[in-house]
């Protein structure tokens, strides 16, 4: 099943996806050799991982933590580095697989670097597709790097359309749990606290994606990802609310068939798939039973209560720089919400405002390169930030 040892780097090793990736490695210790591990600031966990997996390289994003990491790994053979350029250098190591699990647009440069040098990128960093989808997919198409999605929904779609000819796909539907506020009114959500928003009913994830799940912006971002990953028009993409998070996607075909990918909500399943494809690794997850399967429900998403979905869909339809602006404004807004600077419903408002403002300023045109993307990303962050600070 795992015929030879794969060299593996994990970008964002101390986050939720990174830790789950290393858990899968724990169950297949003979199958993987860890090359580079990176983290932004969790230096203690990064050092612990580097020791355990005898990583060839450990890189911390925050340069101020370099000496701490160096001292924690003294006496080992692990090469230690810090800073943004070092992250990119670590991502550029030639390996069989890079797990690209840095959260946010901070992951753009390292993930692009990985796509240039690795045999496979297991993509958990949404922003490569949301902000820079055209540039990233052009890079993939022009090279030899395999791209395997790690989001559970996209992993599911990848599995179900494996052998399909494009013209046979009628519809791709991503499911959404609906998050903690699925049945809340607009008034209740306006008063929602950070703790309430972080209390996801099904998934254990990082803070950013958990808030995105509560606003349903996460599903909007995933529709944009799906648009770049799969051979469909945006009208063929939809989402439905499925509170049990058992079915991750539904793909319907011209012969009347719908294929569904299901699994208990545990990221180790799509991670194992991305690491092992075309084989499947064993993952120590709970298996579905008849109780899990019975009484699954599906309902339309309510864009009135979850305006982030409508904003994201508009950005998808507009294309160009709009998805990048959407993402940047959303990162600023979520950070402000987590810092208790704005309310929950202000998140979608700020994103919508930023998109409108950028359009008025002529910033929503085509973005061709990673540099274009980073420029737009910066500009959109500045606009959102100035709005938060009481600007125009």
Binding site for a second copy (CB under 8 A): 1, 156, 159-160, 162-165, 167-168, 170, 240, 247, 250, 252-264, 266, 268-269, 272-273, 276, 278-283, 285-288, 290, 293-300
Nearest to 181 by CA among 205, 153, 211, 159: 211
Q: Least distance (Å) from a second copy to the CB of residue 166?
A: 10
Q: Least distance (Å) from a second copy to the CB of residue 36?
A: 24
Q: Least distance (Å) from a second copy to the CB of residue 27?
A: 11
**In the numeric block, which tokens belong to residue 260?**
């569904």
**Dihedrals phi, psi of 132, to nearest 5 degrees:** -130, 35
Q: Which is nearer to a second copy, 225 or 266 (CB)?
A: 266
**CA–CA distance, 274 with 139 (Å, rounded to integer):** 19
**CA–CA distance, 316 with 332 (Å, rounded to integer):** 19
Strands (E), 157-233: 169-176
Q: Which is nearer to a second copy, 237 or 336 (CB)?
A: 237
Q: Least distance (Å) from a second copy to the CB of residue 22?
A: 16
CA 375 and chain centroid, separation = 21
Partners of 175 in beta bridges: 240
**Dihedrals phi, psi of 163, to nearest 5 degrees:** -105, 10
**Dihedrals phi, psi of 170, to nearest 5 degrees:** -95, -45
Q: Which is nearer to a second copy, 51 or 260 (CB)?
A: 260
Q: Least distance (Å) from a second copy to the CB of residue 249?
A: 11
Q: Which is nearer to a second copy, 94 or 279 (CB)?
A: 279
Tokens 């090359």, residue located = 35
Q: Which is nearer to a second copy, 52 or 282 (CB)?
A: 282
Q: Least distance (Å) from a second copy to the CB of residue 136?
A: 25
Q: Which is nearer to a second copy, 139 or 229 (CB)?
A: 229
Q: Which is nearer to a second copy, 224 or 281 (CB)?
A: 281
Nearest to 351 by CA among 216, 178, 225, 176: 216
Q: Least distance (Å) from a second copy to the CB of residue 246?
A: 9
Contacts of 341 (CB under 8 A, 6+ apart): 388
Q: Which is nearer to a second copy, 161 or 325 (CB)?
A: 161
Q: Which is nearer to a second copy, 295 or 362 (CB)?
A: 295
Q: Least distance (Å) from a second copy to the CB of residue 217?
A: 22
DSSP one-letter string for 36-98: EEEESS-HHHHHHHHHHTT-SEEEESSGGGHHHHHHHTTTSS-EEEESHHHHHHHHTS--SEE
Q: Least distance (Å) from a second copy to the CB of residue 162?
A: 5
Task: Please give the helix or strand (H or E) that residue 100 lies within, else none.
Answer: strand 97-100
| The three-state (H, E, C) secondary structure of 171-187, written as one string | EEEEEECCCCCCCCCHH
């Amino acid at each position: 099943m795992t015929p030879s040892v794969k060299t593996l780097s994990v970008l964002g090793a101390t986050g939720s996806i990174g830790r789950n990736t290393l858990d899968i490695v724990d169950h297949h210790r003979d199958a993987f050799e860890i090359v580079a591990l990176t983290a932004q600031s969790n230096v203690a966990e990064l050092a612990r991982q580097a020791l355990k997996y005898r990583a060839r390289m450990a890189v911390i994003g925050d340069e101020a933590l370099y000496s701490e990491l160096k001292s924690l790994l003294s006496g080992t053979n692990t090469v230690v580095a810090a800073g943004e350029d070092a992250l990119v250098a670590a991502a550029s190591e030639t390996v069989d697989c890079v797990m690209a699990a840095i959260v946010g647009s901070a992951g753009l440069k390292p993930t692009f670097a990985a796509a240039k040098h690795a045999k496979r990128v297991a993509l958990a960093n949404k922003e490569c597709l949301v902000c820079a989808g055209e540039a990233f997919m052009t890079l993939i198409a022009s090279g030899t790097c395999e791209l395997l999605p790690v989001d559970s929904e996209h992993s599911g779609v990848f599995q179900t359309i494996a052998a399909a000819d494009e013209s046979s796909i009628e519809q791709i539907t991503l499911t959404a749990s609906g998050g903690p506020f699925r049945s809340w009114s607009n008034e209740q959500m306006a008063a929602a606290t950070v703790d309430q928003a972080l209390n996801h009913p099904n998934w254990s994830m990082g803070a950013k994606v958990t808030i995105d799940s509560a606003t349903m912006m996460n599903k909007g971002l995933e529709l944009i990802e799906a648009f770049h990953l799969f051979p469909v028009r945006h009208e063929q993409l939809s989402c439905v609310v499925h509170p049990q998070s058992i079915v991750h996607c539904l793909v319907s075909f011209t012969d009347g068939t719908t294929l569904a990918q299901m699994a208990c909500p545990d990221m180790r399943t799509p991670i194992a798939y991305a690491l092992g494809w075309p084989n499947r690794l064993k993952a120590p997850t709970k298996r579905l039973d008849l109780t899990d399967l019975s009484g699954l429900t599906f309902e339309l998403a309510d864009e009135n209560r979850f305006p982030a979905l409508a904003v994201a869909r508009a950005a998808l339809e507009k294309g160009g720089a709009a998805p990048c602006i959407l993402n940047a404004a959303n990162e600023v807004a979520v950070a402000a919400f987590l810092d208790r600077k704005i309310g929950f419903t202000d998140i979608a408002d700020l994103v919508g405002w930023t998109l409108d403002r950028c359009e008025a300023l002529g910033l929503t045109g085509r973005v061709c390169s990673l540099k274009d993307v980073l420029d737009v990303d910066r500009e959109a962050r500045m606009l959102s930030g100035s709005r938060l600070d009481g600007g125009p």
